[in-house]
Amino acid sequence: MANAIDKRLLELGVELPEPAKPAANYVPSVLTGNLLVTSGQLPMKDGKLMAMGLLGRELGTEAGKLAAKWCAVNVLATARAALGDLERIQSILKISVFVASTPDFTEQHLVANGASDFLVAALGERGKHARSAIGTAALPMNAPVEIEAMFEVS
């Protein structure tokens, strides 16, 4: 029988992918004691970036929110690979949302809602988290959003 998180993901129409392989000299996540920290995850869908470019130039806020959601999907895929079972997640402590944007774009917090809303929908109360939304000039591979996360796990 599927666990509660798997059931929610199914209801949301999301199947977690295999996590992306590191593109450089780092590991996808680090588990120490009851803390899991993920490396930054890009908005990969079906093995490729689902969007590219800067918010405020090539992309609008809604496209950014969708990209943030797919970053969060990949954060959960990385957590599942590290933990074996998402039910081990006690809580998401914090996510950091990096938004590649033009200097005059000021809706990074709204873009970040795409990830926050998805994580709460998928994990329920365990998905509520502290958050930073940071504008940046560019991200790897011309990705519009990158997200890293810290989890409390059992």
| Cα separation, 55 vs 133, whole angstroms | 13
Q: What is the pLDDT of residues 12-40, one digit of tens each?
A: 999 999 998 898 999 999 999 999 999 99
Instruction: Provide the pLDDT for residue 2.
Output: 59
CA angle 9, 154, 75 (to 5 degrees): 40
Q: Is the pTM of this model over 0.95?
A: yes
Task: Give me 130's structure tokens.
Answer: 């502290």
Is residue 130 predicted with pLDDT exceeding 90? yes
Task: Output the pLDDT for position 75.
Answer: 98
Q: Residue 88 and residue 152: Cα distance in Å, rounded?
A: 9
Report pLDDT for 23: 85
How much of the chain exceeds pLDDT 70, in percent? 99
The residues near 116 (Cβ < 8 Å, ≥ 6 apart) are: 95, 129, 131
Q: Does the domain at residues 4-14+50-148 carry the CATH identifier 3.90.79.10?
A: no
- Going from N- to C-terminal start, the domains of the chain cover 4-14+50-148
The stretch 97-119 carries a mean pLDDT of 98
Q: For helices 4-11 and 108-123, give the axis angle rounded to 10 degrees.
A: 120
Question: Which of 133 and 1 is assigned the larger pLDDT?
Answer: 133
Strands (E), 3-144: 29-32, 35-38, 44-45, 48-49, 89-100, 130-136
